Amino acid sequence: MIKYNLKCENDHNFDAWFSDSSNFEKQNKKNLILCPKCSSTKIEKNIMAPNIGSKKQSYTNALKTEKNIEKIIKNVRKHVEKNYEYVGNKFADEARAIHYGEKEEREIYGETSIEEAVDLIEEGVNVTPLPGIDPKIKN
C-alpha cells in the first residue's frame, strides 16, 4: 500500500491509499479519483515527505493501518446499507431521475458499471463508490 498526498484543481489537499503507484495512475487517468471536498476529478500528487522507519516498524504500522481502514470501510458499508434504499442494478437510472427531479429525492445505493458512474459524474450527478466488497456478491 502507498499513501499519496493529493491536491485537486481547486487546491484542496487530501490523502488517499493505493495498492501501488500504477494503480494511482490508472485511476487518475480514468478520472476515478474524486476530491472529497468538491468532487473534482482533476487530481495531482502533492509534495510529501517520506515516512522512513525500520522494516519491522513499517510492517507493523502497515498492518495496523490496514485493519483500521478495513474497520472504517465496514462501518461505512453498514451505515449505507442500514440508512439508504437499495435499488440494485437500476442505480444509474434512479440516480439520474432523482438528479433531474423526475423522482423524489432520497438516499440510494446499488450497482452500476464504472463507465456509467463516470457518465453520471460528468452529468453532475453526485455519486460516490461504496467501499468494500458486498457480501451478497460471490466471486
Q: What are phi and psi of 118, to 5 degrees?
A: -65, -40
Alpha helices (runs of H) in the chain, residue ranges in sequence order: 21-29, 55-83, 91-99, 114-122
Query: Which residues span the domain enclosing 110?
Result: 84-139
Q: What's residue 68's pLDDT?
A: 84
* Overall number of domains in the chain: 2
Please indicate, yes or no, if residue 54 is contained in any of the structural domains: no
Residue 50 lies in a domain: no
Residues in the chain: 139
Q: Are residues 89 and 139 in the same domain?
A: yes
Q: In the prediction, which pLDDT does 94 show?
A: 96
In a domain? residue 124: yes
Q: Which helix (H) or strand (E) is 8 found in, with range? A: strand 2-8
What phi, psi does 109 have (nearest 5°)?
Answer: -150, 160
Beta strand 108-109 with 85-86: parallel, antiparallel or unpaired?
A: parallel
Global pTM?
0.51
| Any domain includes 4 | yes
Q: Is residue 117 part of a domain?
A: yes
Does residue 88 share a domain with residue 41? no
- Residue 30 belongs to some domain of the structure: yes
Q: Which amino acid is at 69?
A: I
**Alpha carbon 138 to its chain's center:** 21
| Lowest-confidence segment of 6-15, 30-39, 42-51, 75-84 by average pLDDT | 42-51
Could you please report the per-residue DSSP string of 67-99? HHHHHHHHHHHHHHHHHSEE-GGGHHHHHHHHH
